[in-house]
Amino acid sequence: MPATAQVPPHEPGDGERFRIELATDLSRVGDVVETVCAGCFTEGSTSRRTQFRVRTVLAEALANAMLYGNGGDPLRSVVVEVELRDERIVIAVTDEGNGFDHNAVPLPIWDDSLEATRGRGLFMIHRLADDVAFNDPGNTIWMTLLRR
């Protein structure tokens, strides 16, 4: 696993963290999403809207990491790191690929890109997360969602 899987700086005493590493296997995405959600939410702790947003961005990021980052190679891994804070949830997804230029992915909102088959998941992530960032190589995405 590349050394690029780092969660943004942690403030002491401001939350808990957990990490999941899994092989590239799309059939595991749903289970991992549910495991992460079980670790993030207690009954009544977060709105159903935020729970939906977390499920959707994580599923999209995992699928992108497995399909595009790792090229579907089952010998490569994906790492999910979650940091829970009182006011927000920060999720990092890292693949073992070479990365990509996230600025070069066209948003599927213009007439000439509405039929595009790539970029829709990234577009949804940007629309649903409160903040999205990438490391320099482009093989780690950080998604921050405010607890509302």
Q: pLDDT tens digit string along 102-125?
A: 888 766 665 554 455 565 788 899
Q: What is the pLDDT of residue 121?
A: 86
The structural domains of the chain, with segments of one domain joined by +, span: 17-146
Q: What is the pLDDT of residue 114?
A: 47
The helix (H) or strand (E) run that includes residue 144 is: strand 140-146
Half-sphere exposure of 92 (CA within 13 A, CB side): 21
Q: Is the pTM of this model over 0.85?
A: no
Q: What is the pLDDT of residue 70?
A: 97
Residues facing 37 on adjacent strands = none
Q: What is the pLDDT of residue 105?
A: 76
What is d(CA 14, CA 27) in angstroms, rounded to the nearest whole number?
33
The CA angle 4-2-82, to the nearest 5 degrees, is: 55
Q: What is the pLDDT of residue 67?
A: 95
CATH superfamily of 17-146: Histidine kinase-like ATPase, C-terminal domain (3.30.565.10)
Q: What is the pLDDT of residue 7?
A: 42
In this prediction, the residues of the chain whose per-residue pLDDT falls under 50 are: 1-13, 113-114
Q: What is the pLDDT of residue 4?
A: 37
